[in-house]
Amino acid sequence: MKRYILTRAFYSLITLWLLATIVFGMVRLTGDPVKMRGEVGADAAYLDQIRRNWGLDKPLHEQYISFIGNLLRGDFGHSFEKSLPVGTIYFERFPNSLKLGFSAFVISIVLGVPLGMLSAFKVNTWWDNFGKVIALLGLSIPGFFVGLVLIIIFGVELGWFPVLGKGPSAFVWGDPSTWVTFWFQDWHYLAMPAFALGWYFSGAMVRITRSGMLEVLGSDYIKLVRLKGVPERMVMAKHALKNSMIPILTLAGLNLLVMVNVAVVIEVIFNWPGVGQLLYDGLSNRDFPMVQGVVLMSGLMIVVLNFVIDALYGYVDPRIRLSR
């Protein structure tokens, strides 16, 4: 077991190092941020000064070494565009993304799981197709369109929800009073963006639920339960659902991280101040430290989650648990 954990940890580190190197190289291929920052008329001395401030005048291998060195100390550098340390800006925004991602996750379960169960129980009937289509529509209409329609109907015409941003509440790391209240305030700002994102992911949720339930429904275990005379509703709720939850939750957990980190389009449309926006701004303005920071942070979270899942599976699987 220990050996298994150690090898998994080692692999995770290698993955992270590879990610850092790849993203370091890729951003530097996207162009010269100094030239892109300089407006017409900026004198050469001003541009040189900027280049030196940003450390881009040093040779590539020196930049790489200081990049990795700083990473090990947890320093992602200063944003070119936003002039403040990347870490500060990222963690200021991360709770916002988490709030949006988690709400979208909940919505996707609320929408997707019942539809998936409906599809599974009435498999290949009209209800099956109905359930699938409703969920798949979320996957089939581009997010920016859904967002704009929601804004127009529920924001402008009906006035039910505000259209901009996340509202005045903020998660301030330095202010513990906000640590709990943040998650429960300003729900009406969250409604539309979370719905747009949640609908998108409910498609996958329907699929997993449906196939998971079909598998379980066809299994001997369920046949036995039915033979025993358990009413159909109990079969549905207690036994079938419980057994298909594991794959649902595993994939959902990964989806959540992906949601949090790359819900760029939704964040731009609704002006939600999350990390997706940071990535978009950073890329548009060739803000190397910001892009590196966002990609690496999201990579770190995914790698850590994978590691935890692998470790849990290792524990559950007796062959691994009982090995050396």
What is the footprint of another protein within residues 237-266 (CB under 8 A)? 261-262, 264-265
In angstroms, rounded to a whole number, what is the distance separating the alpha carbons of residues 169 and 180? 11
Name which of 140 and 323 has its Cβ closer to another protein. 140
278 binds another protein (CB under 8 A): yes
Q: Report phi then psi at 195, rounded to 5.
A: -65, -45
Burial 157-184 (b: 16+ CB within 10 A, else e): eeeebbbeebeebbbeeeeeebeeebbe
- Window 59-98: residues binding another protein (CB under 8 A): 78-79, 81-85, 88-89, 92-93
| Binding test (CB under 8 A) with another protein, winner from 283, 309, 311, 320 | 283
Length of the chain: 324
Name which of 158 and 180 has its Cβ closer to another protein. 158
Q: Report phi then psi at 54, rounded to 5.
A: -90, 0
Binding-residue pattern over the window 304 to 323 for another protein, x denoting contact by CB under 8 A: --x-----------------
Number of helices (H) and strands (E) in the chain: give both, helices first: 16, 0
| Binding test (CB under 8 A) with another protein, winner from 60, 65, 142, 181 | 142
99 binds another protein (CB under 8 A): no
| Binding test (CB under 8 A) with another protein, winner from 59, 74, 159, 176 | 159
Q: CA angle 236-312-106, nearest 5°?
A: 45
| Binding test (CB under 8 A) with another protein, winner from 1, 6, 9, 32 | 32
DSSP secondary structure, 237-265, as one string: IIIIIHHHHHHHHHHHHHHHHHHHHH-HH
18 binds another protein (CB under 8 A): yes
Exposed (0-12), middle (13-18) or buried (19+): which is 130, by Cβ within 10 Å? Answer: middle
Closest contact distance (angstroms) between CB of 24 and another protein is 12
Closest contact distance (angstroms) between CB of 109 and another protein is 20
| Binding test (CB under 8 A) with another protein, winner from 63, 75, 114, 137 | 137
Total of residues contacting another protein (CB under 8 A)? 100
Name which of 79 and 103 has its Cβ closer to another protein. 79
Give which of 15, 47, 21 is closest to 34, Cα–Cα. Answer: 47
| Binding test (CB under 8 A) with another protein, winner from 95, 116, 131, 155 | 155
299 binds another protein (CB under 8 A): yes
Give which of 19, 180, 183 is closest to 102, Cα–Cα. Answer: 183
Give which of 24, 79, 123, 76 is closest to 285, Cα–Cα. Answer: 79
Burial 96-122 (b: 16+ CB within 10 A, else e): bbbbbbbbbbebbbebbbebbbbbbbe
Closest contact distance (angstroms) between CB of 184 and another protein is 20
**Which residue is it, tokens 């039910």?**
160
- Window 176-235: residues binding another protein (CB under 8 A): 203, 207, 211, 214-215, 217-218, 223, 226-227, 229
106 binds another protein (CB under 8 A): no
Closest contact distance (angstroms) between CB of 324 and another protein is 20
| Binding test (CB under 8 A) with another protein, winner from 123, 237, 304, 312 | 123
5 binds another protein (CB under 8 A): no
Name which of 109 and 294 has its Cβ closer to another protein. 294
Plot region of 110 (φ>0 → left; ψ -120 to 50 → alpha; else → beta): alpha
In angstroms, rounded to a whole number, what is the distance separating the alpha carbons of residues 225 and 32? 66
| Binding test (CB under 8 A) with another protein, winner from 6, 42, 68, 312 | 42
Name which of 40 and 180 has its Cβ closer to another protein. 40
